[in-house]
Amino acid sequence: MSRFRFPTGLVGRRDGFLIVLTGFLGLTREQARKVTPAVIEVGGLGVISIQGTAVARAASPGECPRCAVAGWLSVIAPHYERLRASFLPLLDPTTAVPGVHVCELPVGDLWRSGVALLPSIDRTGAVGTGEPISVRAITTIIGQRRIPTGRTETLDPVVRAEGRYRDATSTELAAAQDDVLNHLDSANQYLEELLAEAELVKQTLLTEPDNTAAK
In a domain, 34, yes or no: yes
Does 158 fall in a domain?
Answer: no
| Dihedral, CA of residue 39, residue 43, residue 45 and residue 51, to nearest 10 | -20
Q: Are 128 and 179 members of one domain? A: no
Regarding whether 116 and 77 lie in a shared domain, the answer is: yes
Which range of residues forms the domain containing residue 199?
163-208
Clarify whether residues 111 and 188 are in a common domain.
no
The answer to whether residues 91 and 5 touch, using CB atoms and an 8 Å cutoff, is yes
Question: One digit per residue, pLDDT tens: the chain, 215 residues?
Answer: 777 788 888 899 999 999 999 999 999 999 999 999 999 999 877 789 999 999 999 998 888 999 999 999 988 876 655 556 667 777 777 777 778 898 888 888 888 877 789 999 888 888 876 789 999 999 999 988 877 655 554 545 444 455 666 666 666 767 777 777 778 778 888 888 888 888 888 888 878 666 555 54
CB 2 within 8 A of CB 8: yes
| SS3 (DSSP) at 39 | helix
Regarding whether 167 and 104 lie in a shared domain, the answer is no
Q: Do 26 and 78 share a structural domain?
A: yes
One-letter amino acid for residue 58 of the chain: A
Predicted TM-score of the model (pTM): 0.67
Q: Do residues 30 and 135 lie in contact, with contact meaning Cβ atoms separated by under 8 Å?
A: yes
Query: What does the buried/exposed string (b/e) look like for 75-96 if buried means 16 or more CB atoms within 10 Å of the residue's CB?
Result: bbbbbbeeebbbbbebbbbeeb
How many CB atoms sit inside 10 A of residue 182's CB?
Answer: 10
Q: How far apart are CA 35 and CA 157, in angstroms?
A: 35
Number of structural domains the chain divides into: 2
